[in-house]
Amino acid sequence: MTKSPKTIKITPRDPLVARDGRPFSEGKRMKSLDWIRPSVVIGSLRTLVGKLNQKGFNKNTIKELKDISITGPFPYVNNKLYFPTPLDMVLKEEGTQNSEGEKSTYTSIHQLKPGKYNEGEGSTLPRYLSPAMLYPKEQFKPLKRPAFCSKNQMTQWLLTKDIKTSELNKLLQYNKKDGSFFNNNNVINFPKKEERIHLKICPESGSAEEGKLFSSIGLDMNIHDNNGDILPLEMLAKLDTDIPQNELFKIISKLNHIHPCGGERRLVKWNICNNLEKIWECPKEIQEAIKREKKLRMVLATPAIFENGWLPGWLTIKEEHETKCIGTIPGTEIEVQLVSVVNERWQPLSGWSYERNKPKPISRMVPAGSVYFFKITNSVSDEDIANMWLQSVCDDTQLKKDGFGLSLWGIW
């Protein structure tokens, strides 16, 4: 049994359609999500590998295909890997005026982290959770966050304990004209959505046939850099295959094909890269900081599905002298106590099961970018830290293989 991590580059040739699960038929609009789900990408990849295997989709083949595990996909632009912007990052628009009366704007960063209630304050949070408070304390209307941060930018954020002393505030700029962010391409927004109108023309009359009209919305996988130049927005994913070096392994090792991904059978190129393995490694400065600190922060890099809603199944609520939520991080021996959580409302996940030939039941996902704050209650080893970087924290084994619940780690 050989475990062989590989990096696959996914280059869209057409705007991708990431369906949102709403009903679609003739005369209706096909909507698209802001970003494609991990399950769509790994499903398309397994179908491609199964077709290239040319032995049909029998039970044994399906079992081997479902064992293929994926990390990602994440945006990859101009040789930089991007992760979802964490929800504990809060942006504020600031204004300045020079001596000549000219006004300009810039963006300052605030952070959410566990705090305490003032006298007379309270909430309906569980007793084991502290409220996530804005720091520095100030009242303002937050700006919309950029969708993704580069790995370098994310590393700086995960090492930030006090935003007042962080260099991040000097880096982020805000383009008020169109609401976009730019910072030497260290942050990017979601792809722009492109709408296409489809119809069937009657050859006899030359007019549209009755009811043969619909529209689709796809993600335009091109972005503009600071100079206005167009850059292709590709995707990177890491494959971990626990399968022996059989036919499927050989197919994956030589993957260089064009195959549909997402709705409307839009085409992408799937290509194995052999020189990008280090891009998935945990930064050394984060490993050193986690060993030094006892306050641990987990950021979800992909949406997660847990047994208990927003609460991972590997955390248990203990009622002793005080109520605590404690557990051991999956794949490690690190014991933690949950302190606070920053997340948004749940997102739905559904789809069609070709294995069972019926719709999949709807699941509730914790959004990517959600942040969990912990206290470490035992010692931490280098091996444990390396093992938990970009590993899934979902409770279900198949969801882990499908790329849900991937986690980034830092301090607070």
- 272-306 per-position pLDDT tens digit: 988 888 899 999 999 999 989 889 999 999 999 99
Structure-token pair, residue 251: 């197919």
Strands 29-30 and 208-220: parallel
Q: What is the pLDDT of residue 184?
A: 60
- Rounded mean pLDDT of 29-56? 90
Q: What is the pLDDT of residue 40?
A: 93
Query: Residue 219: which of 266, 173, 179, 180 has the closest Cα?
Result: 266
Q: Each residue of 146-171: pLDDT tens digit?
A: 899 999 989 999 999 888 766 676 55
pLDDT category, 2, cuts 50, 70, 90? Answer: very low
pLDDT category, 1, cuts 50, 70, 90? Answer: very low
Structure-token pair, residue 46: 């397994």
- Rounded mean pLDDT of 347-361? 84
More confident residue, 168 or 318: 318
More confident residue, 352 or 235: 235
Structure-token pair, residue 89: 């990052």
Q: What is the pTM of this model?
A: 0.90
